[in-house]
Structure 1
Amino acid sequence: MARIVVLGGTGYAGRHIVSEAVSRGHDVIAISRSIPTDAVEGASYVQGSALDISSLANAFDGADAVVSALSPRGDMADRVLEALTNVIAELADTSTRLGVIGGAGGSLVTPEGPRLFDLDFPEEYKHEAQVGIDSLALLESTDASLDWFFIHPAEVFGPWAEGERTGHYRDGGDVLVRDAEGRSFISGADFAVAVVDEIERPAHRRGRFTVGY
């Protein structure tokens, strides 16, 4: 059993990760700035923000993994990198693994590139995608002692395309995962399966990967 802390644990990706980790018997702490209205049974909840690490008390103590599922939206639109920087500093000189949830935009379209972001990317999603790209760059600049992973969901991922839990997904490495019909999709539940699998069986130390069907 691992002790897993999920920042943004009441958001779309975060709640799925909390639920999947709890279902596997892990000790899970979900951190959010608001009190959840649909708490996952078996998880512990801490109200606070990575923008103020002191508000999290000792939530990181003894954690095997911290997963950042923070979204650059609302009043966090321009502050996710600040929050992630605080988390990185807090985990310095510990053995805690850091996982960061990004977006599809930074994924390569082919092994040689370009990124999805560099093609005809929707304007309304560019800010969020850029934050994900900058978050990966921040992780890559950290000291080699920090064990981290960064995971890109498929192109279609969110509450508007919920899907089901199948327990299956494909790891595309740096490349966006598409099915035989060219669709790039992953359900929230199966995305969470990939995240918890990576925590249980690390395969991408200080690296990124994409997931989809």
Structure 2
Amino acid sequence: MKILLLGATGMIGSRIAAEARSRGHEVTGVTRSGSEGTQAAQAKDADAIARLAAGHDAVVLSITPPRDGSDPTSGLLESGRGVLDGMRRAGVRRLVIVGGAGSLEVALGLRLVDHPEFPQEWKKEALAQAELLGVIRDQAGDLDWTYISPANLIEPGERTGDYRLGGDQVLFDAEGNSRISAEDFAIGLLDVMEKGEAIRRRITLAY
């Protein structure tokens, strides 16, 4: 596949890029600055996304909301809408989004982000990611999208090749933890892409 990867130098994005290339896929990395050999563009710029996505088989969106004090929701939603618009112009249908865990349910009807113990410092970002999921569900029905939420904790770690795939609920291990390494998240994401699974669904990956 030829993959356009937005957020290619981030903690998760860099591991997606490495995993994809190790499998023989061609990756065009995109960042806001154009650093580390990537193309410079903002996800909200539909014209730039259309130009860069042309000729690609899929787009992976792996960005975080702005952390400069501005409203994280508006920035992330602008990026999501820009990507959708740009993909349509370029004629690319496959979209995979690295989402957040906050919108996963920990109990029937109770999202993780709404749990009393959810860290306050991450709440705005989690709510922004949840809003993006809503926009994708409402506005991307003509595209083959997949929104992938990580476990509660995702961080650099070991590449084991082990993971579980779930739906809208948080996945916990036998010790009651919800976690995954960024390396194994990348494996799961590429597996889903290569198999053409989870079309127009939100899924989650965890141990």
Q: Is the shorter-chain TM-score for this pair beyond 0.5, marking a shared fold?
A: yes
Alpha-carbon distance between aligned partners in 1 of 2:185 and 2:140, rounded to the nearest angstrom = 28
Equivalent in the alignment of 1:16: 15
Amino acid at match of 1:187: S
Structure-to-structure mapping, 1:64-143, within 5 angstroms: 64-75=57-68, 77=72, 78-92=74-88, 94-110=91-107, 112-120=108-116, 121-143=118-140
Does the 8 Å contact 1:98/1:147 carry over to 2?
Answer: yes
Alpha-carbon distance between aligned partners in 1 of 2:145 and 2:197, rounded to the nearest angstrom = 11
Does the 8 Å contact 1:5/1:59 carry over to 2?
Answer: yes
Does the 8 Å contact 1:63/1:96 carry over to 2?
Answer: no
Alpha-carbon offset, residue 209 of structure 1: 0.5
Alpha-carbon distance between aligned partners in 1 of 2:152 and 2:121, rounded to the nearest angstrom = 14
Does the 8 Å contact 2:3/2:56 carry over to 1?
Answer: yes
Amino acid at match of 1:50: A
Structure-to-structure mapping, 1:118-197, within 5 angstroms: 118-120=114-116, 121-158=118-155, 162-197=156-191
When structure 1 is superposed on structure 2, of 56-65 and 195-204 the one drifting more is 56-65
Alpha-carbon offset, residue 115 of structure 1: 1.1
Provide the secondary structure at the position in 1 that maps to 2:29.
strand
Alpha-carbon distance between aligned partners in 2 of 1:189 and 1:143, rounded to the nearest angstrom = 28
After superposition, the Cα gap between the structure-2 partners of 1:10 and 1:210, relative to the gap in structure 1 and judged at 3 Å, is same
TM-score of the two chains, using structure 2 as the length reference? 0.91
Alpha-carbon distance between aligned partners in 1 of 2:86 and 2:180, rounded to the nearest angstrom = 31
Equivalent in the alignment of 2:51: 58
- What's the % identity of the aligned pairs? 39
Q: CA RMSD in A?
A: 1.7
Alpha-carbon offset, residue 163 of structure 1: 1.6
Alpha-carbon offset, residue 200 of structure 1: 0.4
Alpha-carbon offset, residue 56 of structure 1: 5.0
Alpha-carbon distance between aligned partners in 1 of 2:79 and 2:197, rounded to the nearest angstrom = 26
Provide the secondary structure at the position in 2 that maps to 1:6.
strand
Alpha-carbon distance between aligned partners in 1 of 2:109 and 2:177, rounded to the nearest angstrom = 18
Does the 8 Å contact 1:150/1:207 carry over to 2?
Answer: yes
Alpha-carbon distance between aligned partners in 2 of 1:105 and 1:8, rounded to the nearest angstrom = 20
Segments of structure 2 that go 5 or more residues without pairing to the other structure are none
Alpha-carbon offset, residue 143 of structure 1: 4.7
Alpha-carbon distance between aligned partners in 2 of 1:135 and 1:188, rounded to the nearest angstrom = 21
Alpha-carbon distance between aligned partners in 1 of 2:169 and 2:100, rounded to the nearest angstrom = 13
- The structure with the largest strand share of the pair is 2
Alpha-carbon offset, residue 97 of structure 1: 0.6
Segments of structure 1 that go 5 or more residues without pairing to the other structure are 40-44
Provide the secondary structure at the position in 1 that maps to 2:139.
coil
How many residue pairs end up in the alignment?
202
1:26 matched to 2:25: yes
Amino acid at match of 2:58: A
After superposition, the Cα gap between the structure-2 partners of 1:73 and 1:95, relative to the gap in structure 1 and judged at 3 Å, is closer
Equivalent in the alignment of 1:7: 6
The list of structure 1 runs, each at least 4 consecutive aligned residues, that deviate by more than 4 angstroms after superposition, is none
